[in-house]
Structure formats: C-alpha cells, structure tokens
Amino acid sequence: MALETWLAFFLACWVISLSPGAGAIASMSAGLQYGFWRGYWNALGLQLGLALQIAIVAAGVGAILAASELAFSLIKWFGVVYLVYLGYRQWQALPSEMTAQAERPIGRPLTLVLRGFLVNFSNPKAIVFMLAVLPQFLNPQAPLLMQYLVMGVTMICVDLIVMAGYTGLAVRVLGALRSPRQQLLMNRTFGALFVGAAALLASVRRAA
C-alpha cells in the first residue's frame, strides 16, 4: 500500500471512529460502571467484532450479506434486541453512594469483551459500509491480503485510542457523581442512549 493511500485511510479511520455510535455509547457506559482499566475490556471486545467484520469483507462474504435481505435482517434485529437489552440493564442499574474510597462494581473481563464484540458485530450496516469503503483504498494489482491486514491493524489501533478516550471521559464524569440521584440520572441517560441506538439500527435498510 502506497504511503499516500495509507495516510488517506488513516485519516478516514479517525473520522469513522470518532463518529458517535453504539460502540462509543458502550465504551462510556463501561467506563462509567467499572472504571477505566476494567471498562476497557469492552473496547477490546469491540475490536474483535471489528476484526471479524473486516475479515468478512476481505473474504467476500460481505458481498453476500449486502445482497441477502434475510441475512441482513437477521443480524440487524439481533443487534436491535441486544442494544435494547443493554439499555434496559443500564436503566435498571441501582445507584450507590460514591465516596473517594468507594469500590466500583467488578465486571468480568470475558463478559465485557463479549459485550463489546456483540455490540460491534451485530451491526450489519457496518459490514456493508466497510464493503463500500475499504475497496477504495485497495490496489488491485498488489496482494490483497497484506493490504487488508494493514488496513485492519490501522483501523483497530485508531479505534482502540478513540474508545480509550470515550472510556476515560466517562470515568471523569463518574468522578463528579456523588449522590445516588446523579448516578440514577446518568444510568437512565445511558439506558436511553442504548435504546436510541437500537432505534437507529432498526431504521436501517439494506441498499437496493
């Protein structure tokens, strides 16, 4: 991959990752609930989902998904239901009095990784989007596998940095939450955001 092509893709990755979406909401929710280091396991799960999406596009399966109404709908509605479930769980989360010495709840790393993975992978629009975007940066005369590997590593590294920012932002917000009322408001705000993301995903239609 030529340097100028990689630089253009690198800039595109920042724009894509910084755009608020279900992954950003999930990262901020994890940071709010578990703190930065524990909550960041969610971001690792997001990257596993992203890596699988890139692999699907590279293998050509993405074209099948884009052409199949049934496959697109199955993945989409799974994602909708899962985001609504996360929203319900967040809405129902009970506040606890925060002090400087208070301990945050302990989330299991594998659970957080799976949560992040499902948030990213259950969005078929992302696969179709990458199917439209990634080939624009490919040189068809050069080996495709290495180009997809370079783009995949680049996109994942950028997204890890961005999700670290979203997770850390939520931790800073958590530091300002002292009363159960404030925490309850924040939990319900994130619950509503998850449901809003589900509604957006539900409105997505496969391109004809």
Give pLDDT tens digits for 11-56: 888 877 887 778 888 888 888 888 888 889 999 999 999 999 888 8
Tokens encoding 8: 């253009």
Half-sphere exposure of 40 (CA within 13 A, CB side): 12
What pLDDT shows up at residue 153? 94
Which segments in the chain show pLDDT lower than 50?
97-102
Length in residues, the chain:
208
Q: What is the pLDDT of residue 26?
A: 87
| pLDDT of the residue at 31 | 86
For tokens 């957006």, what's the residue? 200
Position of tokens 């999930």? 26
Q: Cα–Cα distance between 203 and 80 in angstroms, integer?
A: 10
> CA-to-CA distance for 82 and 84, rounded, in angstroms?
5
Q: How far apart are the C-alpha atoms of 40 and 43, rounded to whole Å?
A: 5
- Contact between 61 and 133 (Cβ < 8 Å): no
Q: What is the pLDDT of residue 181?
A: 75
Residue 51: its pLDDT value, please? 92
The predicted structure's pLDDT at residue 98:
42
Q: How far apart are CA 6 and CA 12, in angstroms?
A: 10
Angle (nearest 5°) at CA 57 between 51 and 63:
150
Report the C-alpha gap between 119 and 139 in whole angstroms.
31
Judge whether 199 and 77 are in contact, CB under 8 Å.
no
Q: What are phi and psi of 172, to 5 degrees?
A: -65, -40
User: What does pTM read for this prediction?
Assistant: 0.73
